[in-house]
Amino acid sequence: MSKMSKPEYEAKARELSEDEAERLLSRMIGKLPGRLQNEKLTREQALAIQLELEDEQLEEWRRNMQELNNKIEKKQKRRKTDQQS
């Protein structure tokens, strides 16, 4: 994990409400909370990194779900053609 986040995520982090920021902080895992606690990162930097990580995870989840849906669709098509034969 890099120490610096992309500028667009830093901008998003600045726009978060206090409630949104707290929710985001509560989802931090790994070394990120420790780096925040040890003051190696500012709160804003930590929030930006967490936002970026969650966006990456969401993209990965979307790809996985698309692959799964494609497999299910192929399986259903195969069953239909097998039933018609």
Is residue 63 pLDDT above 60, yes or no?
yes
The per-residue pLDDT for 81 is: 86
Q: What is the pLDDT of residues 1-53, one digit of tens each?
A: 456 789 999 999 999 999 999 999 999 999 999 999 999 999 999 999 999 99
The per-residue pLDDT for 3 is: 62
Task: Kindly list the domain boundaries of the chain, sorted by start residue.
Answer: 7-84
Q: What is the pLDDT of residues 10-19, one digit of tens each?
A: 999 999 999 9
- Inter-CA distances, 12 with 21, 57, 72, Å: 10, 17, 36
